[in-house]
């Protein structure tokens, strides 16, 4: 898949078919996460794969906007060690979501707001933080569909040299 098309075409989706994700697809998604770079190659990220319904419900109780999590065929929790940069977790997440997208598997990042409960539900060491969970599944209806909200125009999104800086030095469209 063309990288630019993958970036433009990926949509966060919370509504999945109940069918499981094949082991080889899971391995590819996990490998994509493992290959994400990290600051100073510290590799501070670990992944917890959740397929068990009871464990998904327990994790859902650790977040405020997690109603779709228990119905997701696959949940991958991104765990980072205390003191590590959240950016590394974001790189891992984006790699996995784009790899899944290439396979026709939709995804959605999920915030987990109650760290202590999440550590307990997942049996995590005390020096870790749940950066986020990501739900994965085949999109209901065969195609991931966004909410239809337009992105900001690039002129509003990008500032040149300083906040409010426009025009000078901007590449032509």
pLDDT digits (tens, 9 = 90+) for 88-130: 999 999 999 999 999 999 999 999 999 999 999 999 999 999 9
Q: What residue ranges do the domains of the chain occupy?
A: 3-148
155-172 per-position pLDDT tens digit: 888 888 889 876 555 665
| Four-point Cα dihedral 53, 57, 27, 103, nearest 10 | 90
The pLDDT of 48-52, averaged and rounded, is: 97
Helix axes 23-34, 86-102, angle to 10 degrees: 150
Q: Are the C-beta atoms of 134 and 47 separated by less than 8 Å?
A: no
Q: What's the gap between Cα 119 and its chain centre?
A: 19
- CATH architecture entry for 3-148: 3-Layer(aba) Sandwich (3.40)
In this prediction, residue 172 carries a pLDDT of: 59
Q: What's the gap between Cα 4 and its chain centre?
A: 18
Token pair, residue 171, equals 């590449």
pTM for the model: 0.89
């Amino acid at each position: 898949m063309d990288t630019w098309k993958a970036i433009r075409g990926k949509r966060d989706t919370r509504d999945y078919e109940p069918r499981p994700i094949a082991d080889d697809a899971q391995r590819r998604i996990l490998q994509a996460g493992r290959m994400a770079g990290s600051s100073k190659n510290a590799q501070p990220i670990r992944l917890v794969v959740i397929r068990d319904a009871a464990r998904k419900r327990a994790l859902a109780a650790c977040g405020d906007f997690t109603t779709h999590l228990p119905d997701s065929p696959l949940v991958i929790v991104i765990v980072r060690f205390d003191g590590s940069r959240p950016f590394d977790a974001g790189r891992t997440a984006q790699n996995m979501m784009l790899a899944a997208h290439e396979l026709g598997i939709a995804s959605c990042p999920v915030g987990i707001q109650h760290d202590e409960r999440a550590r307990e539900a997942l049996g995590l060491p005390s020096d870790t933080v749940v950066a986020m969970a990501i739900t994965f599944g085949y999109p209901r209806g065969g195609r991931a569909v966004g909410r239809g909200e337009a992105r900001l125009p690039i002129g509003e999104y990008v500032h040149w040299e300083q906040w409010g800086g426009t025009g000078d030095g901007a590449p032509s469209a």
